[in-house]
Structure 1
Amino acid sequence: MTKKDILIGFLVGVVASLFGLIFAIQIFGQSDDWGLVIEESIKQGFFTKLMSIGALLNLGAFFVFIRKRQDNRAKGVLIATLLVLALTLVIKFLR
């Protein structure tokens, strides 16, 4: 059952990061066209910052799982956050 809980936590972390990224694009973007905002943010070099801001929703999910004593799901959220970190570093240093 622990692998299933970790997978659930990982999926929650990935979805929370995506929603956070969309939320950050809506707040900080200059247009309603997400593709245009992403394209411009990549050109100007702040897409990784949007990704990092988007990952902040994982913090809430992590603490909800910790408070409910669902430690394995919290581990999954932590793994998803580390994946976002690795992806952010790869994008940042390949650019």
Structure 2
Amino acid sequence: MNKKDIFIGFIVGLIANIIGLLLAIYFFGNGQGIESTIKKSIAEGFFTKLISLGALINLVAFFIFIKNKKDYRAGGVLLATILVAVTTFILKLI
């Protein structure tokens, strides 16, 4: 059951990150569409910053799981956040 809870937390963390990324694009996209904002952010080199801003939503999911004593799910969210951080670091190097 622990692996299942970690997996659920991991999926929640990834979904929260995607939602956070879309919110960051919405707020910082200057009224442009999602696709054009992503292309522009990649061209100008701030796409990794948008991904990092999207990861902030993981804090909400993490603390909700901690408050409800779902420690393994919170660990899954933490793993998703670490994956996003490593991915952001790799993309920054490329």
TM over 0.5: yes
Q: How many residues align?
A: 94
SS at 2:32's partner residue? Answer: coil
Query: 2:37, 2:15 → 1: CA distance?
Result: 20
Deviations 1:44-94 (A, max 9, x none): 111111000000000010000001111000000000000100110011010
TM-score by length of 1: 0.96
1:71 is matched with which residue? 71
1:6 is matched with which residue? 6
Deviations 1:6-50 (A, max 9, x none): 000000000000000000000001233111100000111111110
Query: 2:76, 2:92 → 1: CA distance?
Result: 24
Residue pairs, 1:53-92, within 5 angstroms: 53-92=53-92
Q: Which runs of 5 or more residues in structure 2 are unaligned?
A: none
Query: 1:86, 1:35 → 2: CA distance?
Result: 23
CA RMSD of aligned residues (A): 0.7
Residue pairs, 1:24-39, within 5 angstroms: 24-39=24-39
SS at 1:16's partner residue? Answer: helix
Query: 1:14, 1:38 → 2: CA distance?
Result: 18
TM-score by length of 2: 0.97
Higher deviation after alignment, 28-37 or 66-75: 28-37
Q: Which runs of 5 or more residues in structure 1 are unaligned?
A: none
> Percent identity of the aligned residues?
52
